[in-house]
A and B are shown apart, each in its own frame.
Chain A
Amino acid sequence: MASSWVYAARRLLLAVPLLLGMSVLIFGLMRLVPGDPALAVLGYKATPEGVRALRETFHLDEPIARQYVRWLAGAVHGDLGIDYRQNEPIGRMILDRLPITLELTVLATLAAALIGIPLGLLGGGRRGGAADRAALVLGLVGISIPDFWLGIMLILGIPLGLGVLPSGGFVPLGEGVLDNLQHLVLPALTLAISRAAVLGRLTRAAVLDVVQRGFVQFARAKGLGERAVLVRHVLPNAAIPIVTVLGLQAGYMLGGAIVVEMIFTLPGVGRMTLDAVLERNYPVVQSTVLVIGAMFMLVNLLTDILYGLIDPRVRRR
C-alpha cells in the first residue's frame, strides 16, 4: 500500500509544473490579443476615464512578468479579479456556475459508462456474432456523430416533437431533484453518446485482449461456465484500461460541456467561457479556461492514481 501512496504523491508533484505551464500559456495567449485589452473589454462603452480605470485595476501598465505574478498569486487565493461587464468577482461567478457543469459531467460520465461498457461486453463476449457486428457499427457511428448536432436532433425529436422534457434552461438541484434531472437528461445524453461509443469500442478490445490470455483458457479448460469466466477472470483484468479511458472521457466532457451548455441554454462555466469569448471579455476567458483546464488535469491525475491503485504493475515503472 505504501508504494501506491508514493506513486500518488509523485504524480501530484508532477502536476504542479504542468499547472504553472498552463497558467503561463493562457496568460501569454491573452496578451497576444491585438490592441489594448482595456479597449477590447470595454468595447463601444470605452471612455478615456474608463480605460484609465481599467488599466489601473488590471495593472496593465506594469511589466508583463509582474502582471502575471500578480494574477497567479490572486488565482492561488481564489481571487481571479473583477468582471468589468457584470461588476462581479470572476471567482464568485465561476463558483456559482461550476456545480451545473460538474453535475452535467458526472451524469454524462455515468450515462456513457452504462451505455458503453455493456455494449462492449456484448460485442467482445460473442465475437463475430450478430450482437458484436451491431455493436461495432453503433460504435463507429457513435464516435462520428457531432455532439452539437445530436443535441439539436434530440431537441427537435423529444421536447419539440413529443412534447416531453424541457428543451433548455436549468433548475438547481436544491429546488427540486426531479425538475433538475429533467433539465439535464438530454444534455447529459448528448454529451454521453459519442463517449459511450469510444468506451464501447475500448471495452470490446480489452475483453478480446484478455480472452486470449492463458489464464482464461485455463479457467475454461477446468470447466468453468462462460458467465463465471467473464465475471471472475475477464472483467477484473479488462477493467484497468476501461477505468483509464472512462477517466479520460470524463475529462473531455468538461470541454464538450461548452457546446452542450450553449445548445441547452444551461448557465454553466462552459457557457460563461463561450459568452466571454464572443464578447472578447479576456479577463473572464483567461480565468474560466484556467479553471476548466485545471479540472481536466485533476480528473486525468485522479485517473492516473486510480490506475496505479488497481494495477500494481504501473507503480513499479
Chain B
Amino acid sequence: MGAKLLGARVKRMEDPALLTGRGQYVDDLKLSGMLHAAFVRSPFAHARIRKLDATRARVLPGVRAVITVADLPADLRARRIPMLVPNPAIKQPWTQLPLADDEACYAGEPVAVVVADSRYLAEDAASLLDIDYEPLPAACDCRDALKPGAPVAHAGSPDNVGAKFTVQYGNVDAAFAGAAHVVRRSLWCHRGGSHSMEGRGVVARYDAMDDRLTLWSATQSPHIIRRNLTELLGLDEEQVRVIAPPDVGGGFGPKTIFYSEEAIVGLAARRLGRPVKWIEDRREHFLSATQERDQYWDVEIALDAGGKIRGVRGSMIHDTGAFLPWGIISPYISATTVPGPYVVPNFKLEVTVALTNKVATTPVRGAGRPQAVFAMERLMDAAARETGIDAAELRARNLIPTDQMPYKVGLVFRDGKPVVYDSGDYPKCQQIALTHGKYDSFAERQRTARAQGRYLGIGIGNYVEGTGLGPFEGATVRIGPSGKIFVFTGGAPQGQGHQTTLAQLCADKFGVGIEDVQVVTGDTGKIANGVGTFASRIAVNAGSSVHLASLAVRQKALKVASHILEAAEEDLDIEGGRIVVRGVPNMSLGLAEVAKAVAGMPGFALPGGIEPGLEATEYFSPPQSAYCNGSHCVEVEVDIETGHVQILNYAVAHDCGTLINPLVVDGQVQGAVAHGVGNALFEWMKYDADAQPVTTNLAEYLLPTAPESPRIVLEHVISPSPLNPIGVKGAGEGGTIPAAAAIIAAVENALSPFGIEISDAPITPARIVELIAAARTPKQ
C-alpha cells in the first residue's frame, strides 16, 4: 500500500463549488416558512435593566414574536451557560445568561430577540422596544479594575478578581540571586477579534413529528453546541441535532464556544413551530463575538555571564471581560508558553484574571501564545542589549538542543499533562529563518541605509506550540454497498480543507483518489461524539482517527475478501478500490461487493465470524499534546517622519511534523502570519473609559489588506511527532504566534539609534513618532 497522497500537494475538492458561488454557508439556507431574528442588545457596558416594554415592537406588522427574559421558561431564565473548561483557580466563575435579566454587563449583551418575516422588519421592530437602562459604573481597564474601590463588573460582587493562579517550577528566587544580568520589562500586549469574513449564524428548525430540533450553526464545535442546547433547553440528545453547514466562512476561535444566541434561536423555533434564522452582522461581531484583548506583563529574566538563562519570573494581568465562557484557557496557555524553545531552568508567573465590563475573551488564533512569545522575546532582545550579545546568538545559546529532546519543561499544560516537547529541532529552525532572513548580511544593509537616512531593522521570534489537544476527535469510515467510501468526523472545517486532507489519509488505504472518498463533517447526527476544530487539533486527532479507522476497514475488507476469494490475506493488495490477488489479475473483488457481503443476507452467517458492516470508528486520543515550533525573521523599514512600518522581508521556518497536504499547510502559515501582522501593526479593539466599544466597524478596526501583508519565504522542517500514527502536529496557528514579537523587535531594532524600547503590541505610527520625539538625540 503506497502512501501516494500523504504529503502530496493535492488540489482541494472544496474549490470548484466555492469558486462558482455554490458554497453552502448558514445564510444560504432557505427553509420553508423561515423567519428572521434580530437581537436587541445592551447599548451600555454596565447597566441595570429597569423596565422592558415590547408592546410597540410586537404590534408591528410582520413581527411574529418578541422574546424577552420574562418570556423564557423559568429554569432557562436563570440558567447560566455551562463553562467549557472549569478550573479551581477561578474565584468568580461568571458565565452568561441566555438573555440579560436585570443587569447588562457588556455593551452588546443580548437582552431580547425579535422574530419577523424579514431581517429588515426584525430590525425595525428591535428599535421599538422601550427599555429603561440605568447605567452603572463600569470596570474598564483591567489593571484599574483590580485596584481597591474599583467599580465592579457584576453588581454586588466583592471585586473583579475572576481568577488567580501561579505557574512555576524550579526556584526562581535562587536563580535571580547573584545572577550576572537581570533585565526587566513592563509590556502591554493587545490582540483583537477573529473577524472571520463570515460572522456567526444560526438556523433552527423544530420538527414536531420527530420531536427533533435541528440547528445549523456556523460553529467550530457542533457537539459542544448540542451538549449545551440539551442542557439549557431541557432536551435529550435524540431531540437535538447540530450541524455545521458544509461551508463555514472562517472561525479562528470565537466560533468554538456556545453562545446564548444559539439557545434563544433554538427556543424560538420550537416555540413558533417555524424555522428561525439569525445571521450575525459585522457590528454584532464587534460587540458580542468573543475576542482576545489586553494582557499586561511585568517580567524579568536572569542570565549568567555567558548569556545562559537562569530564570524568568513575573506577573501578568489578563482581561477576561465580563464572563469566563472558556474558563481561564487563554491566560493559562499564555503562562505555559513563556519558556518556549529555550532552556529556562526556573520559572514563575503569577497571573490575575480581571473581570471587566466588556465582551468575554476566549482564544483567537494563537490563543494566548502570541502574548507570551512577545513577552519572552522582548526579554531576550533586552537581554541581548544588556549583555552585548547578538540577538540571534543569545537565542542560539539558549535554544533546547536536539539531544535533550523529548524535553520536559516542568509545567503542566492545559490538557492536564506535563509539558514535554515531543520532537523538534529548534536550533535548525532558527538557522533556517535567519538564512532566509539574510540575517548575517543585515548589519551592512542597516549601515548603508542609515547613511541614506533610512531606518531598517531586523527581528526574530521563536515559539513552541502545544497542538493536537485531546481528548479526541473521532472518525467513522464506512463503505456501503454502493462502494463509495464515507468518512464521518466531528471536525468541522472553516477553510482548512478537511474534505481534502482527511480524504487523502483515507484514500491511500484503498488505492483510490480523493474524489472517491466523501468526507462528512460537523454533524452530531452522523457521529456520536465530537469535540471541535480549534487549538490546531484536527490533523492530530481527526487525522489519526481517519488513518486508524481506514486501516481497520482495509484490514476487514482484506479479511472478508480472503474468505470470498479463498486466498491468504498476505497475498492480497488493494488497488484502485479493488482487492486483487497478487499475480492473479482476474481474481479481484470490488469494495462494493465486499460491503454487500457483510451487509447481511437473511439466514446466512457472516464469513469468519466477522461483524456486520464494512466500517470502523476510531476515537484517537493523544497521550499528550504534540508540540510544533517555528522561527520567524522579519526585516522592516520605518519611516521616522510618519512612523509607517514597511515589511521588507518575512522569513518563516515551520515545523509541524508530517505534512498531509503541503499546499494547505503553506496556506495556513501564510494566513496565520497575516493575523500576526494585524496584531503587530493594525488591530486594536478600543474602549472608552466607560468600557463602551469605540472601534465598531472595519474602517475603525483595521485588518491587513493585500498591500500590507508580506509575501513570506517559508521553509518546512519535518520533525514527526511520535505521539500519533501519522506523525503530524497542528499547523493552523504557528504563523501567528511569533509574528508580532518578530515584527516589533524589528521596529525597535530600526529605531535603535534613538535608544527606544518598544513595549507595546500593536505599535502604531503615531506611537512611533511619539517615542522618537521623546527620545534623546540620536546616538550611534
A and B together in one complex: no
